[in-house]
Amino acid sequence: MKQILVTGGAGLIGSNLVRHLNGLGETEITIVDNLGKGDKWKNLRGLRYKFYLEKEELFDFLEENNTFTHVFHLGACSSTTENDASYLVQNNYHYSVNLFHYSNEMGARFAYASSAATYGNGDLGYSEKIPVSNLRPLNAYGYSKQMFDEYLLQNNFLDRCLGLKYFNVFGMGEGHKGDMRSLVLKGYKQIKETGKLQLFQSHKPEYNHGEQKRDFLYVKDAVSMTIGLAFANCSGIFNIGSGIAETWNELARALFKAMNKEPQIDYVPMPESIQSKYQYYTCASMEKWQKTGLPGPKYDLASSINEYVKALNEDNL
């Protein structure tokens, strides 16, 4: 039986990862998170795990409990609009550095969440082959993730761990994320309440309204890919995406169809505060993934939205 530590284990990816591990028969799991005063605790319901810790308790705990075989470090401040860079450095960088060294000393397999936000505006592409130091993230969150990637690279630690550059992940378990919820969930609630969905207008002439593109990935695929790489003892940085760029309009039409409603889309101005930080196109290069021989994503955008909407309906959200 594996001994597994999951930080961010009550979050979107983390809680679904624990559920997937449970399906594989793994229950010797310690979850670490920061539940706060919101509804994130609800994501823990139905999961089988051995112990729960708040994030500030972890390092004292590891002084006495150092037999983990696998560490999935998914906990972080993931807000792309967070402007307290000092907080992001402490929470996303220093915490990660410390946990990596604890994991390394234990001999545990260390997998951690990087982010597609490290690629910035995408002018250099979205390949893991791009030197990390050449990337220019558009926000402080993306830079905090790049800092940790660089730390591992410069100290020759990447061969001892697995970095995961998640693209636009969505699915059950994101209700606590506030403004960082996916458009699928935001749109589901908008359509239920108003019958319409709002999308940002484009502020670049080469993109029509709603034709900005993203690499969308269902959370079930994100966790199966993560676990597949970790249990295959892969190392280095990998993109975790679908490898397909689809427009917000395509997502909107799929969402309206899943909800059995006619599309009604309002295009609204993008707030000036995010215009300079907005990614108009993302698409993961999946060449490195394909070389592993592991199965890729199972769900396309329409089928994942259909399943998600069904789950939301059943949950009365």
**29, HSE (Cβ side, Cα atoms, 13 Å):** 26
Pairing mode, if any, of strands 168-170 and 197-200? Answer: unpaired
- Annotated catalytic residues are 141, 177
Cα–Cα distance for residue pair 219/172, rounded to 1 Å = 8
| pLDDT score for 248 | 97
For 179-191, write each residue's pLDDT tens digit: 889 999 999 999 9
Task: Say how far residue 127 (Cα) sits from the centre of its chain.
Answer: 17
Say what the pLDDT of residue 157 is: 96
Q: For residues 83 and 93, give the distance between their C-alpha atoms in angstroms, rounded to a whole number.
A: 15
What is the arithmetic mean of pLDDT over 209-231? 97
Domain ranges in the chain are: 4-170+217-243+284-298, 175-213+245-282+302-314
d(CA 53, CA 37): 15
Average pLDDT over residues 71-98: 91
pLDDT (0 to 100) of residue 77: 83
CATH of 175-213+245-282+302-314, one of 3.90.25.10, 3.30.70.330, 3.30.1360.80, 1.10.3720.10: 3.90.25.10
What number of CA atoms fall less than 13 Å from residue 259's CA on the CB side? 26
Kindly report the pTM of this predicted structure.
Answer: 0.95
Helix (H, G, I), strand (E, B) or coil at 86: helix
Asked whether residue 294 carries a pLDDT value surpassing 70, the answer given is yes
Predicted local distance difference test score (pLDDT) of residue 80: 82
What is the reported pLDDT for 56? 95
Per-residue pLDDT reduced to its tens digit, 110-134: 999 999 999 999 999 999 999 999 9
Mean pLDDT of the chain: 95
Q: Which of 224, 118, 226, 116 is nearest to 165 (CA)?
A: 116
Q: What percent of the chain has pLDDT over 90?
A: 89
Find the mean pLDDT for residues 214-243: 97
pLDDT of residue 298: 96
Over residues 58-62, the mean pLDDT reads 96
Contacts of 43 (CB under 8 A, 6+ apart): 10, 11, 12, 15, 173, 176
Residue 317 has pLDDT above 80, yes or no: no
Tokens of 140: 């402080």
pLDDT in tens, 43-58: 999 999 999 999 999 9
pLDDT value for 222: 98
pLDDT of 316 > 90? The answer is no
Residue with structure tokens 């089988």? 48
Phi, psi (degrees; rounded to nearest 5) at 7: -85, 150
Please name which of 62, 74, 100 lies closest in space to residue 227, comparing C-alpha atoms.
Answer: 74
Q: Quick one: average pLDDT of 47-74?
A: 96
Give me the CATH code for the 4-170+217-243+284-298 domain, please: 3.40.50.720
pLDDT at 303 over 70: yes
